[in-house]
Amino acid sequence: MTDQPPAAPRGAPPHAESVPVSITRHGTVAVVHIDHAPVNALSRGVRQGLIDAVQSLDGDAAVSALVLSGGPGRFIAGADLREMALPPDEPFLPEVVGAIDACTKPVVAALDGAALGGGCEIALACDLRLGSAKALVGLTETRLGIIPGAGGTQRLVRLVGVAQAIALVCEGRVLKAGEALALGLLDAVVEGDLLTEAIARAPAAAKRRLSALPVPVGDPAEEAAAAAKALKGAKGVPAIAEAIRVITASKDGDFAAGLALERAAFLALRESPEAKALRHLFLAEREAVKVPGLEGAKARSVSSAAVIGAGTMGAGIAVALLDAGYPVILVERDDEAAQAGVARIDALYARQVKSNRIDEARKAERLARLLPASDYAALAQADLIVEAAFEDMGVKTDIFRRLDKVAKQGAVLATNTSYLDLDAIAAATARPQDVVGLHFFAPANVMKLLEVVKATRTAPDVLATALALAKKMGKQPVVAGNCDGFIGNRIYAVYRRHAEYLVEDGAAPEEVDAALEAFGFAMGIFAVSDMSGLDIAYAMRKRRAAARDPNERYVSIADTLVEAGRLGRKTNGGWYAYDADGNRSPDPAVTQIIAEARAAKGIQPRSFTQEQIQLRLLAVMANEGAKELAEGIALRPSDIDLAFVNGYGFPRLKGGPMHAADALGLPTILTEIKVAHATGGAGSEPAELLAQLAAEGRTFADWQKA
């Protein structure tokens, strides 16, 4: 066996980085090794290395077959998304895939891990696809607002037919090895050493170009149903309709025409605002766990967890921990309250069983790991304790004083506070270094966002533990500094305040909500407030009243609604009226309360367009986010975007408030903030960072890169 070192890219300068592709010989079989950590993304170097290797080996008389290998646990996980923001650089992926397809010798793909997106397209161009049990296969491009652009749709449809191809591509479905085998995307699943088996099978492999196969004749009704289902779940993603169009067009049988149609659609979608927003969020998720100061910090071992407080939030947190595989101790003030908590958790699992998300056996297994208790002594061996009690400083500090006496040394002490000062809570213990904020969002077992709040003295390994916990629970962590409301609720409070200013100045609640829904929110802010309960925000406002700046404009309409017994959906009346089925409608009583509030201040109501409402509310979110960045409360603009997309319903296709502000232009945002400041007074001042970036012609993204 001999090794051929990687060659420099064609036309590359002498200092260019070596191509991360190498070749080894095993008799007449040549193995093309891809080694581009961490996931073999299709960077320019990988693309160049692959095309060079395939073309050189095709002309080598001593080679009978090729094997493509990504190494142990890998294949090719997809495109290098960072390169999509750069000028196009040859060779393009269709050239690489075309070279594999055109190779006169059999090419075997050895999939020991993820073959997603472009990686799947490369595998589909091979003549034989072998996978280990760890193989994952899928064309996932629609998750990023694009479609496959290197023949993926055209080869897949020739394997599985139109209806199945529409479902797989439009859902961005990732298939495990057994599923991929059943559908024909894998030819075999290998139990032993995958590369050894691939080398052994390669000489006998036959050329089987999917590009040469006909598209299977399908049932038109099934194809129409698949398209209708995909369009129904599209949620405004233009790529879904384009994927359906391109796949359906393949039925004419012309592979070359299908490739051209697919490529044109891919290129158009790649530059769309939706695709840019989704790529931004994809990269943001990977940046969010890179926290300064955690280099070398090792997460503490967590084998058992506890939750204090078995109300709605506590029950949801307990379910999230049980779902992650932890045994959970559920502590309440007495046995009756603890059993009520168990009943809440049982009900949450019963809903999952009813919706076929889990079966009865899995429900029973998880409930078997739940231990209700009314004595804090039960917490003595817990590695992680999450406090989920009432949002009151006195209540929380009392709990943490008690924890100091019973929790074992090294236990992570977490609080689910939404607004309160984390340093003050940590100061109630003799071990503030062990205290961290874990701000879950309701329902805690469903919502993806987990705000990880760092107190002044939180130890690095405690923060690392919180991030590891988020990953195990399938949550999206965002690290926040300590302030009133942290990242999300601090911005949300300003957003809600300015929505109320719009109402007091003349917009109806339903007009504000309609504008937000037209922007892409699933629900407007007043409908969300009704769903959450107006009493929650009311209590927060009362708590803050003494410290409120007298120069900040205050709207009392929401207070009047609460004091009239209108708490939202739970009382069938809040900003809206609700019927027996929960359907909302404008309420004349609310209209009267709003009119009286305007009259009391001498406000002459005026009308607002949807665009004006959208601009005002986006501007105030981005402006407050800029203040958080300057103060170090948020590490990055992209962290703010992740928080709002995953926790507050900001539309994914807009990429989050900071990304959306960049797309609109920061000078436009700054101009609107000056108007908002005149409207709202203290607390609405333009952020210095926003003003600076707007003056320099830069964006929040530029600031993050710097």
**For residue range 259-310, what is the model confidence (pLDDT) as tens digits?**
999 999 999 999 999 999 999 999 999 999 999 999 999 999 999 999 999 9
Tens digit of pLDDT for each residue in 601-654? Answer: 999 999 999 999 999 999 999 999 999 999 999 999 999 999 999 999 999 999
Contacts of the segment 516-521: beta carbons below 8 A, 24+ positions apart:
516/613, 516/614, 516/617, 518/610, 518/614, 519/614, 519/618, 519/651, 519/654, 520/236, 520/650, 520/651, 520/653, 520/654, 521/649, 521/650, 521/651
684: nearest Cα among 591, 554, 589, 557: 554
Angle at 274 between CA 522 and CA 266, to 5 degrees: 135
pLDDT of 17 above 80: no
Q: How far is CA 175 from CA 87, 110, 131, 230, in A?
A: 32, 16, 12, 18
Give pLDDT, residue 13.
32
How far is Cα 384 from Cα 465, in angstroms, rounded to an integer? 9
Q: What CA–CA distance (Å, rounded) separates 247 from 161?
A: 9
Beta bridge partners of 128: 108
Q: Rounded mean pLDDT of 45-62?
A: 96
Averaged pLDDT, 55-73: 97
The torsion angles phi and psi of 312, rounded to 5 degrees, stand at: -60, -45
Backbone CA torsion sign across 321, 325, 331, 335: positive
Q: Report the share of the chain in percent with pLDDT over 70.
A: 97
Q: What pLDDT is recorded for position 236?
A: 83
- Give residue 466's pLDDT: 98
pLDDT value for 85: 67
Q: Are 625 and 470 in contact (CB under 8 A)?
A: no
Is it the case that residue 3 has pLDDT exceeding 70?
no
Any catalytic annotation for residue 121? yes
Bigger pLDDT: 87 vs 451:
451
CATH of 3-270, one of 2.20.140.10, 3.40.718.10, 3.90.226.10, 3.30.360.10: 3.90.226.10
The per-residue pLDDT for 615 is: 98
- Confidence class for position 238, pLDDT limits 50, 70, 90: very high
**pLDDT of 326-355, one tens digit each?**
999 999 999 999 999 999 999 999 999 999
In three-state secondary structure terms, 376 is helix
Looking at residue 18, its pLDDT comes to 53
Q: What value does the mean pLDDT take over residues 223-233?
A: 95
- What percent of the chain clears pLDDT 90, i.e. is strictly above it? 92
Q: Which of 90, 95, 141, 387 is catalytic?
A: 141
CATH number (3.20.10.10, 3.40.50.150, 1.20.1600.10, 3.40.50.720) of 305-483 reads 3.40.50.720
Query: Per-residue pLDDT for 1 more than 70?
Result: no
Over residues 348-370, the mean pLDDT reads: 96
Cis peptide before 203 (omega within 30 of 0): no
Query: Is 221 strand, coil or helix?
Result: helix
Whether residue 511 is predicted with pLDDT greater than 70 in this model: the reply is yes
- Looking at CATH, the fold of the domain delimited by 489-705 is given as N-(1-d-carboxylethyl)-l-norvaline Dehydrogenase; domain 2 (1.10.1040)
The reported pLDDT for the residue numbered 563 is 96
Residue 5: pLDDT over 70: no
Known active-site residue 95: no
Asked if pLDDT for residue 66 goes beyond 90, the answer is yes
In the Cβ-directed half-sphere of 437, how many Cα atoms lie within 13 Å?
31
Q: What is the pLDDT of residue 82?
A: 78
* pLDDT, average across residues 441-455: 96
Chain center to CA of 38: 20
Please state the rounded mean pLDDT for residues 172-196: 97
Predicted local confidence at residue 189, as pLDDT? 97
Name the average pLDDT for the chain.
94
Per-residue pLDDT tens digits for 564-595:
999 999 999 999 999 999 999 999 999 999 99
pLDDT tier at 357, thresholds 50, 70, 90: very high
Q: Which of the following is catalytic: 17, 121, 179, 391?
A: 121
Task: Tell whether the model's pLDDT for residue 410 goes beyond 50.
Answer: yes
Q: Per-domain residue ranges for the chain?
A: 3-270, 305-483, 489-705
Tell which residue, 409, 411, 427, 486, has the closest CA to residue 644.
486
Report the Cα 576 to chain-centroid distance in Å: 31
Examine the pLDDT at 15 and tell me if it is beyond 60: no
Q: Residue 95 belongs to what H/E stretch?
A: helix 93-102
Residues 6+ apart with CB under 8 A from 411: 382, 383, 384, 385, 434
Q: Is 2 a residue whose pLDDT tops 50?
A: no
